[in-house]
Amino acid sequence: MAAPLTLLLLVAVTVRAALFRSCLTELIAERVEVVSPLTAWKRVVEGLALLDLGVSPYAGDVFHETPLIIYLFHFLVDYAEVTFMLADVITAVALYMAVADYNKQVFRKQKYALEADRYPLDCLELIRSPKEMYYIPLKVAMFYLLNPFTILCCVAKSTCGLNNAIIALFILTTIKGSVLLSAIFLSLATYQSIYPLTLCAPALLYLMQRQYIPVNFRRFSFWWFIAQYAFMYLGSLFVLVCLSFFLLGSWDYLPSVYGFILSVPDLTPNIGLFWYFFAEMFEHFRLFFLCVFQINVFFYTIPLSVKLKEHPVFLIFMQLAVISIFKSYPTVGDIALYMAFIPVWNHLHRFLRNIFLVSCVLLACSALFPVLWHLWIYAGSANSNFYYAITLLFNVAQILLVSDYFYAFLRREHHLTYGLYLKRKDGSEATLVLK
Amino acid sequence: MAARRRLVSALLVFLCASSVFSGAESQEATLTGGHRAAAVDDPPTDTERAEQAAEQPAVEERRWEATEVEEATPDEAAGEKQDTSAPGTAAPSSAPQPKDDFQEELVVRPLHSGDIYASFQFRTLWETDFSRENKVSHYRLFPKSLGQVISKFSVRELHISFTQGYWRTMQWGQPFLPSPPGAELWVWFQDSVTDVDGTWKELTNVLSGIFCASLNFIDSTNTVQPSASFKPLGIGNATDHRFLRYATLPREIVCTENLTPWKKLLPCGSKAGLAVLLKSEKLFHSSFHSQAVHIRPVCEDRQCKTTSWELRQTLNVVFDFYTSGQGKREWSLFKMFSRTLTEACPLASSSKIYIDVTDNPQGEQFELSPATALLSQAVVLGDRRTFSVYDLTQQITFGSVRSLNLLIRWKTTEGDMLRPLLHAERYVAGYGLQTGEIHTLMYNNHPYRSFPVLLLDSVPWYLRLYIHTLTVTSKGKDNKPSYIHYQPSKDRLRPHLLEMLVQLPPNSVTEVTVQFERALLKWTEYTPDPNHGFYVGSSVISSLVPSIVAMDTNGTLKRPLFSSFFPCKEESSFFVRIYTEPLLVNLPTPDFSMPYNVICLTCTVVAVGYGSLYNLLTRSFQIEEPSPGLAKRIANIIRKMRGVPPL
């Protein structure tokens, strides 16, 4: 398997290197779909320039990266292209290894279940074979590396690529069962952009499952494990925050990074739901809706964890998708990360209801973004509503995609318990409905 | 209509403010009297005096007006009876303490473009101390409203200008007092002010009332603290720029409503003296109009033992008679101002008209009538100029018709102006509403001397400047500024401030470019005409420019040889401040008509997400049982109502 992966990495790096050398780089780096005020490379350079002028980068409202990013690029600014390509490669390899390991476990579990005769007899066609699972890790890496969204994100040098790498490493370490590293990478991801905080629920579920700790509120071992993980997580977060303080000698970065993420003062258009909503919001309702929208990201964690407590990896996928839809400054890089997981769920395809429609809408919207942007900003023949309409449609498509996968996953689980061909009481063929 | 409303509101503000003053000051007086007990030798008398003063301001003001009327009437009568009595000397003689002094002058300079530049200056000098004494209540020539502003807000220096039109340096040369289009206000506060921002806010509101202007729109988003460009012009070497505030309102429209309160500050109002010429219907029918008030402390004498306050009211106006007069280049005071002069202001110690005749030594270019023998030479802005002087305090100036109507008739249309040594222009480059680039061009037209300039740019927060894209090039080469002071903006809080010191090579153009990104604002933050664009105030370029007098190394004909080898320090360079054009920048706009639609649609999408996840989370899969037919259902409902078990 190493040879195809190497080939894939080579192809991906070549594509990126070619694009870096082309005249498209500047165009891509300006696209609002690819870079947000949080992740734009132009703003990283501005932060470094401010630092050179002896002004704190957080004195103004242009730079919103964390101090560690400044520190990193203080040394690597000349090798930025290599850094971003490396970040993509790391993400792809980490996802590859994580998915390979996960598939092994899935297969092992399936084998035990088969041996214990836990599946109904007519479910044999739902059983996954090693042959079809063999190429999944490679497909995941390919979905990430050759996804146009990822390529654009890398060519624009959006720091979203680095955040994705951290999250991918977090997933890898979690699946490999390393509690400490998982906590460290999770705290790094949280430190970069608050939202990955919700990933601690699937991480805990997965690690407990792996260590055969039952998810039971009355058990001491459950709470002990949570305490351990929380201690490691909060400890490394504390270290990171203090380290950032000592790097710049002030707490200015807290309001400038996290306040900026949470209070959404910059209404630059992007593919998310926030910008136009808060541009048109009545001032006295602003705080209320800000809270509603921000809570929305964190709100689904607990019910999803309850529902998917046996399937933490699917929960990670769901959480990543929810974050990338409802976060305040989303870019296509965030979408690329959760889309990389789609090959992992290719056994669900027979239960998907509207995948064709959704993928058509997603493709059409991706093409329409630059067109309507041009009409609004450059040609002046359209107005902001056009671009806004496309962002709405794009988000509806994403929501449908995610809920479709969720539906298919739940349905397959149902079939694995109750049999594939269900019968009504009168013996005719039954249809399943949600009630 | 809007103007009137603003006037009324401004008056209200001012009335409130002044009533607050009179209340607050009496308190303050006793308080500071107690505080300064150590400093003042005799505290009881001090407070006594303060109390007296606090009781009597209204009475004293009335008395001042009454005496003024009394003085004015016999004076006019005398003037009518006898031509020989000089009104200028009569007025101050009756004053009890000649501590204040008023001068007025008008400079007229024919410009090479055919336009006429008229510059009025009214200077009131008063030897008093607003800050040390607890109460200054007796006002004679100095306007009380401004005196109260100075003492209430502990102002060290105040400069305010209202300008309509843009000064075209390339056609008109340097103005005597530069000002940017719109309103400009800069104030140095005393070191004793603790809450500078709060005081500044109050001060702008009060000034807004005094001048009937929208200065109340000055807030933290357009106020900056320049570190080097605006030094105090009066005495005192305060350099801590924490006490300096600078703001411009490039959008401010200047009109009659601003001129009337400005004229009221003059001791003679618009009743006598040069101010009778200030008729708004003519002044605002011009290419350029600028009125300003400058208040600063100055030395009383050479030893500078005592300081006095100087109030300088200036009004500059450029008339275009060439195009309106069908190419005939001829003008007179009557043609310009629709008035002639009959007397000087009786309260003025000096009242003069200067006509710039430098280019006309032998009268070959234009003819000036009535002619005057009085000539004066002065180095103005680095250039030696000759002026014909008309002294209005001399009755002989008015001649037998008892009115002065200066007339200039041009003989030739030739003549070229020396290009100004320093001038600048600015524009926005780029297309679309996403990004852009500000270009500032600075021209050094000196043939062999390079000099440094200080460039100040204050850009509103909604144009996000990227300082790493700043480039300074002259003659195709990178010209690194030796000093950069950059304060990045904070959204909705403060603007960008960029100050830099750039050396301009001789005979060159220096181009400063910086890129910016246009922000999308909240829909309530746009102006009522959002597609008109947003104004960005002028850049300010301050410099010490090598003077033309010093440049003239061959001009040894008139001067003795021993005096002309080393350029004299005073004349070798002169201070120039020039303002570039303000910018008009378009921002992307949301659709203002549909906040409800947007709120509804976005919430719908969020609800779709919530709903579909909620569905999947709370429901479980069940086998669908066939639903009974409609007839059966109705039958069941009827049976249920009858109390019979259903089918």
DSSP B457-483: EEE-TTEEEEEEEEEEEETTEE---SE
- Interchain contact, B464 vs A61, CB within 8 Å: yes
DSSP-assigned letter for residue B367: E
Question: Which of the residue ranges B84-88, B626-630, B635-639 has the most confident prediction, judged by mean pLDDT?
Answer: B635-639
What is the model's pLDDT at position B554? 54
Average of per-residue pLDDT values in chain B: 80
Rounded Cα distance, B256 and B280, in Å:
6
B615 in A contact zone (CB under 8 Å):
yes
For residue A283, give the nearest of B524, B606, B615 by CB distance.
Answer: B524
* Structure-token pair, residue B217: 């729109």
pLDDT at B476 over 70: yes
Determine the Cα–Cα distance for residues A206 and A220; give it in Å rounded to an integer: 18
Per-residue pLDDT, B91: 38
Q: Looking at the complex, report in whole angstroms how far the Cα of residue A184 sits from the nearest Cα belonging to chain B.
A: 30
User: Hey, of B491, B585, B605, which one would you mutate to test binding to chain A, going by the most A CBs within 10 A of its CB?
Assistant: B605
Measure B517 CA to nearest chain A CA, in Å.
10
Averaged pLDDT, B367-394 = 82
Which secondary-structure segment (H or E) carries B123?
Answer: strand B116-126
For residue B506, say if its preceding peptide bond is cis, omega within 30 degrees of 0. no
Q: From the CA of B475, how many Å to the nearest CA of chain A?
A: 25
- What pLDDT score does B382 carry? 73
- Please tell me which of the candidates B488, B615, B620 has its beta carbon nearest to residue A62: B488
* Least-confidence region, from A91-95, B50-54, B136-140, B641-645: B50-54
Identify the three-state secondary structure at position A116.
coil
Rounded to an integer, what distance in angstroms lies between the CA atom of residue A167 and that of residue A202? 13
CB proximity under 8 Å: B 461-480 to A: 461, 464, 466-468
Check A277 against B602: CB less than 8 A apart: yes
> Above 80 in pLDDT, residue B58?
no
Which stretch of DSSP H or E encloses residue A175?
A: helix A160-176
- Closest CB to B624 among A59, A325, A433: A433
Strands B100-110 and B350-356 come out as parallel
> Which helix (H) or strand (E) segment is B106 a member of?
strand B100-110
Question: What is the average per-residue pLDDT within B235-258?
Answer: 89
Q: State residue B53's pLDDT score.
A: 38
Q: Cβ(B329)–Cβ(B322) under 8 Å?
A: yes
pLDDT of B79 reads 36
- pLDDT per position as a tens digit, B35-48: 433 333 333 334 33
**Residues of chain B contacting residue A280, judged by C-beta atoms under 8 Å apart:** 522-523, 590-591, 594-595, 598-599
Answer whether B598 touches A (CB < 8 Å).
yes
Instruction: Give the residue from chain A lying closest to B589, CA to CA.
Output: A384
Q: At what angle do helices A286-299 and B595-618 cross, to 10 degrees?
A: 30
Q: What are the φ and ψ backbone dihedral angles of B219, each rounded to 5 degrees?
A: -140, -165
**Residue in A with minimal Cα distance to B488:** A60
A362-371, B246-255, B546-555, range with the lowest pLDDT: B546-555
pLDDT digits (tens, 9 = 90+) for B139-184: 888 998 999 899 899 999 999 999 999 999 888 888 999 999 999 9
Which burial class, exposed, middle or buried, applies to A420 when counting CB atoms under 10 A from its CB (0-12, 13-18, 19+)? middle
Residue B347 token pair:
């309260």
Chain A environment of B601 (Cβ under 8 Å): 392
Determine the average pLDDT of the residues in B199-219.
95
Alpha carbon distance, N-terminus to C-terminus of chain A: 45
The maximal CA–CA distance of chain A, rounded, in angstroms, is: 81
Q: Which residue has the higher pLDDT, A386 or B94?
A: A386
Q: How far off is chain B from A345, nearest CA to CA, in Å?
A: 18
User: Counting one residue from A and one from B, how many pairs have CB atoms under 8 Å apart?
Assistant: 165
| Single-letter amino acid, residue A300 | Y
Which residues of chain A are under the pLDDT cut of 70?
1
State the Cα–Cα distance between residues A73 and A82, nearest whole angstrom. Answer: 12
Chain A closest CA to B464's CA: distance in Å?
7
* Residues B413/B114, Cβ–Cβ less than 8 Å: yes
- Is A377–B486 a contact, with Cβ atoms under 8 angstroms apart? no
Task: Give dist(CA B313, CA B31) in Å, integer.
Answer: 34
The distance from CA B485 to its chain's CA centroid, rounded to whole angstroms, is: 23
Distance from the A277 Cα atom to the nearest Cα atom in chain B, whole angstroms: 6
- By C-alpha distance, which of B510, B539, B514 is closest to B450? B510
DSSP code string of A396-409: HHHHHHHHHHHHHH
Q: Residue A148, SS3? A: helix
Are the C-beta atoms of residues B616 and A400 closer than 8 Å to each other?
Answer: no
DSSP B381-450: TTEEEEEEEEETTSGGGGTTTT-B--EEEES-S---PPPPSEEEEEEEE--SSSEEEEEEEEEE--SS--
| Whether the Cβ atoms of residue A399 and residue A280 lie closer than 8 Å to each other | no
Q: Which of B613, B615, B627 to mutate to test the interface with A (most CBs of A within 10 A)?
A: B613
Residue B15 pLDDT more than 50?
A: no
| B432 to A377: CB separation less than 8 angstroms, yes or no | yes
Put simply, whether B606 touches A (Cβ < 8 Å) is yes
pLDDT over 60 at B133, yes or no: no
Which of B467, B490, B519 is opposite residue A49, by nearest beta carbon?
Answer: B467
Sign of CA dihedral B476, B480, B484, B486: positive
Of A92-106, B20-34, B73-87, B316-330, which has the strongest mean pLDDT? Answer: A92-106
pLDDT at B440 over 60: yes
Residues of B in contact with A396 (CB under 8 A): 605, 608
Instruction: Judge whether residue B31 has pLDDT over 50.
Output: no
Predicted local confidence at residue B584, as pLDDT: 95
Spell out which residues of chain A touch residue B482, defining contact as CB-CB under 8 Å. Answer: none
Q: Are B54 and B26 in contact (CB under 8 A)?
A: yes
Q: Residue ranges per domain, chain A?
A: 1-267+283-351, 361-416
Give B490 to chain A, closest Cα distance, Å: 5
Q: What is the pLDDT of residue B43?
A: 36
Write out chain A residues lying below 8 Å of B523, CB-based: 279-280
CA distances from B329 to A133, A229, A273, B117 (A): 94, 90, 65, 14
B496 contacts in A (CB within 8 Å)?
60
% of chain B with per-residue pLDDT over 90:
46
What's phi and psi for A328, nearest 5 deg? -80, -35
Q: Looking at the complex, does the CB of residue B600 fall below 8 Å from at least one CB of chain A?
A: no
Which of B471, B480, B606 is best to mutate for the A interface (most A CBs within 10 A)? B606
For A198-220, the three-class secondary structure string (H helix, E strand, C coil) is HHHHHHHHHHHHHCCCCCCCCCH
Touching check for B530 and chain A: CB below 8 Å? no
- Residues B531-550: what's their mean pLDDT? 88
Q: What are the start-end ranges of the H helices in A22-129?
A: 24-30, 41-53, 67-76, 80-115
Taking the CA atoms of A387, A390, A396 and A399 in sequence, report the sign of the dihedral they define: negative
Pick the residue from chain B with its C-alpha nearest to A293.
Answer: B606
The pTM of the full predicted model, rounded to 2 decimals, is 0.85
Look at residue B211 and tell me whether its pLDDT is greater than 90. Answer: yes
Inter-chain touch B612–A395, beta carbons under 8 Å: no
Most confidently modeled of A173-187, B55-69, B361-375? A173-187
Kind and range of the H or E run holding B330: strand B330-332
Q: Rank A3-17, B349-363, B553-567 by mean pLDDT and report only the highest.
A: A3-17
Helix axes A67-76 and A220-248, enclosed angle (nearest 10) = 60
β-sheet bridge partners, residue B376 = B387
Of A390-404, B102-116, B425-439, where does mean pLDDT reach its minimum? B102-116
- Closest to A171 in 3D by CA, of A298, A315, A1, A68: A315
Q: What angle is formed at CA B521 by the lines to CA B515 and CA B523, rounded to 5 degrees? A: 155
CA nearest to B464 within chain A: A62
Residues of B in Cβ contact (< 8 Å) with A53: 467, 484, 486
Distance of CA A433 to the CA centre of its chain: 30
Q: In degrees to the nearest 10, what's the CA dihedral of A71, A72, A78, A84?
A: -150
Residue in A280, A392, A430 nearest the CB of B624: A430
A277: its two tokens: 């909503």
Q: Name which of A30, A62, A353, A375 to mutate to probe chain B: the one with the most chain B Cβ atoms within 10 A of its Cβ.
A: A62
How far B471 CA sits from the closest chain A CA (Å)? Answer: 13
pLDDT at residue B94 is higher than 50: no
Q: Quick one: DSSP state of residue B114? A: S
Q: Is B205 on the interface with A (CB under 8 A)?
A: no
A378: closest chain B residue by CA? B432
Residue B96: pLDDT above 50? no
| C-alpha–C-alpha distance, residues A344 and A147, integer Å | 16
Partner-chain residue, chosen from B434, B517, B599, that has the shortest CB–CB distance to A277 = B599
Q: How confident is the model at residue B83 (pLDDT cuts 50, 70, 90)?
A: very low
* Diameter over CA atoms, chain B: 133
Three-state SS sequence of B197-248: HHHHHHHHHHHHHHHCCCHHHCCCCCEECCCCCCCCCCCCCCCCHHHEEEEE
Give me A161's structure tokens: 């690529």
8 A C-beta contact, residue A199 and residue A304: no
3-state secondary structure of B55: helix
Are A159 and A190 in contact by the 8 Å Cβ rule? The answer is no
For residues A197 and B62, give the distance between their C-alpha atoms in angstroms, rounded to a whole number.
73
b/e sequence B444-463, b meaning 16+ C-beta within 10 Å: bbbeebebebbbbbbbbbbb
Do A268 and B519 count as a contact with CB atoms less than 8 A apart?
yes
B488 CB within 8 Å of a chain A CB: yes
Question: What does A266-315 look like in DSSP terms, one character per residue?
Answer: -----SSSHHHHHHSS-GGGHHHHHHHHHHHHHHTHHHHHHHTTT-HHHH
Phi, psi (degrees; rounded to nearest 5) at B634: -65, -40
